[in-house]
């Protein structure tokens, strides 16, 4: 069984990434889900875990699955390759700082998935 700190760290990383990718501040996210900015800071610094209600609100706000947010899956949604999410994926890949080989693999995968959607 994984420990609570590991889950908290995964959640913290995912939430921080979503906030950064969407160009938001902790205060903006806090306002959107009606909590204090300090609580969002605690989440992003892995000093606190969200309540179940806040966890759901964050997943809904960012339009991601709860499994993605908790670090169980790497896919943002069940259908991460739809055209509406492509810009999001590109920004996400830029933030992850992949090396050239990894980046090439990811973009090749995306290209194949896009072609399958057509």
Q: Are 39 and 48 in contact (CB under 8 A)?
A: yes
Residues 60 and 13 in one domain: yes
Per-residue model confidence as pLDDT tens digits over 56-111: 999 999 888 888 888 776 555 444 444 455 566 666 666 666 677 777 777 777 67
Residue 78 lies in a domain: no
pTM to 2 decimals?
A: 0.62
Domain range enclosing 59: 4-69
Per-residue model confidence as pLDDT tens digits over 29-50: 999 999 999 999 999 999 999 9
Which pLDDT score is estimated for 83? 47
Q: What sign does the CA torsion over 17, 32, 63, 59 have?
A: positive
Q: b/e per residue, 10-31, with b = 16+ CB within 10 A? A: bbbebbbbbbebeebebeebbe
Q: How many domains does the chain have?
A: 2
Residues 64 and 96 in one domain: no
CATH code (residue 22): 1.10.260.40
Of 105 and 8, more confident: 8
């Amino acid at each position: 069984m994984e420990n609570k700190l590991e889950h908290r760290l995964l959640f913290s990383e995912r939430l921080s990434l979503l906030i950064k990718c969407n160009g938001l501040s902790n205060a903006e996210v806090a306002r959107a889900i009606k909590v204090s900015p300090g609580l969002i800071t605690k989440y992003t610094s892995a000093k606190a875990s969200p309540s179940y209600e806040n966890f759901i609100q964050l997943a809904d706000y960012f339009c991601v699955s709860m499994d993605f947010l908790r670090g169980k899956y790497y896919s943002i949604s069940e259908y991460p390759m739809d055209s509406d999410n492509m810009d999001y994926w590109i920004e996400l890949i830029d933030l992850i700082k992949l090396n050239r080989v990894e980046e090439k693999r990811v973009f090749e995968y995306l290209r194949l998935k896009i072609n399958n959607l057509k």
